[in-house]
Structure 1
């Protein structure tokens, strides 16, 4: 049975580092959560390491800029690894060819321009879908107004040409304030439902954790840290952590909050454990809000 805890501090002595999700745990896309910021600062004050592990399709530099823009202080974290980072390595390794069609918003352009220097420097050419060897999906062009249904014709054309989709963000949905938006993972899911092939490198898949462990080791000088994965995505943050053999902390007041009663700050423990049992997933700990 998952242990419902009052605060990160109550278990922090057990861990050397956390892999903490961003959206839904540290901020809502518009403003940071003060209690979560305080919790991560307190964790770092004990000489421990906070690595922010996000399924953002954009590279680390863009994530840093976004955090600064919405007011997340830089002393709340030590390092960042994004799904965009891990997916860039796959793209530059030739996972879907070199003539690439992009599905995504202008805000995601840094995926193609801010490339890691330690990855293969494979020349990538952006082309129309009719000329593409593969597709990179960073998200919807306009996630404020569009849904996956708007991409049905595009996905059917991709399937007819047997193109692989490199999905830069496995998340299906995210909450921007009180609005629910679709992510790249929702398009990849729709493509797979048509029989298409989608490739993933963010949570819960191993490549992003491999990259996170490398960056953590480079930062701390050790490769044996006891890590806690924190997140509100049961099929991404929690399933991924369990798959990596590390302890997990499930934030119940995130995207699944409606499953546990009317008050997100006071989840119904019986409903929580019944829901987890049905999913056959068992986080090590749970917490209403990261604090």
Structure 2
């Protein structure tokens, strides 16, 4: 049964490293949460290491630049690992071919143009129209403010008929941009699978992003890791599948399910909600602080 805590400091000393989600935990897409920033800074000051682990479909340099613009101090984290990093590796390895139809916005162009050094000599990836594509790369809707997966039915049915695989660079289904909820690439991938297509995932809750974080941070088999996140099917499920403890931030995507006070979830509502989803994170907290 999950234990509700008031602050990260209650349990932080038990862990060598944190794998901390961004949207809904550290920021809301527009500005950082001051209490979350303070909690991570304090954890690092006590000797812990922080990996900011995000399902953003861009290389981590773009995520870091966004954090800088928001005003998240760099002493709040050690490393940023994005779904885009792990998915890039797969794309340049040829997981969905060399000619791809890209579903996404211009802000995700770096996924294709910023080629990692280890792939500098790999054959080029070319973005083409659906009719000429060998595969699909989804980083999000073309118009994330207005489109839903259903808007892609005809094009994705054609892709499925041609047997194209979809590389999903962001397994998140939705995120909150300030007060607005928008669809992510994960929603498109799930819809494609519902139509009978095949999707490949590389962010949370799937192993590649965790393997990359452990490798780059140099964590051994005995390292004590705590995952922090507000996504029940990404952060919590991923932690459970990886065999690591999890701190579920209830005041994020599912905040309205746990009572009117987003800072302090109702214990009974929380436990019933988790039981219905057969999830049991070790810890829960209203907001990261």
TM-score (norm 2): 0.97
Q: For residue 179 of structure 1, what is the aligned residue in structure 2?
A: 180
1:213 matched to 2:184? The reply is no
Name the Cα RMSD after superposition: 1.1
Q: CA deviation at 1:72?
A: 1.1
Shift of 1:42: 0.2
* Structure 2: unaligned runs, 5 residues or longer: none
Aligned-residue offset at 1:20: 0.1
Query: For each residue in 1:181-229, what CA deviation from the matched residue of structure 2 results, as whole angstroms up to 9, or x when unmatched?
Result: 0000011111111101111010000011111111111xx7x55321100
Q: Could you tell me which of 257, 260, 263 is aligned with 1:259?
A: 257
What's 1:235 paired with?
A: 233
Match runs of 1:11-26 below 5 Å: 11-26=11-26
Question: Deviation at 1:237?
Answer: 0.4
What does residue 127 of structure 2 align with?
Answer: 126
Kept in 2: contact 1:249–1:285 (CA 8 A): yes
Paired position in structure 1 for 2:287: 289
Q: Where does the alignment leave 5 or more consecutive residues of structure 1 unmatched?
A: none
- Between the aligned partners of 1:70 and 1:15, the Cα distance in structure 2 is 28
Does residue 142 (structure 1) correspond to residue 143 (structure 2)? The answer is: yes
CA positional deviation for 1:127: 1.2
Q: CA deviation at 1:154?
A: 1.6
The residue that corresponds to 1:46 in the other structure is 46
Alpha carbons 2:264, 2:285 under 8 Å: kept = no
Q: Hey, which bits of structure 1, 4+ residues long, moved more than 4 A? A: none
CA-CA distance at 1:118 after TM superposition: 2.5
Q: Which residue of 2 aligns with 1:9?
A: 9
**3-state SS of the aligned residue for 1:181?**
strand
For 2:126 and 2:110, the matched residues in 1 are separated by: 15
Instruction: Compute the displacement of 1:121 (Å).
Output: 2.3
C-alpha contact (below 8 Å) 1:213/1:223 kept by paired residues: no
Distance of 1:177 and 1:254 partners within structure 2: 11
Alpha-carbon distance in 1 for matches of 2:281, 2:162: 41
Partner of 1:69: 69
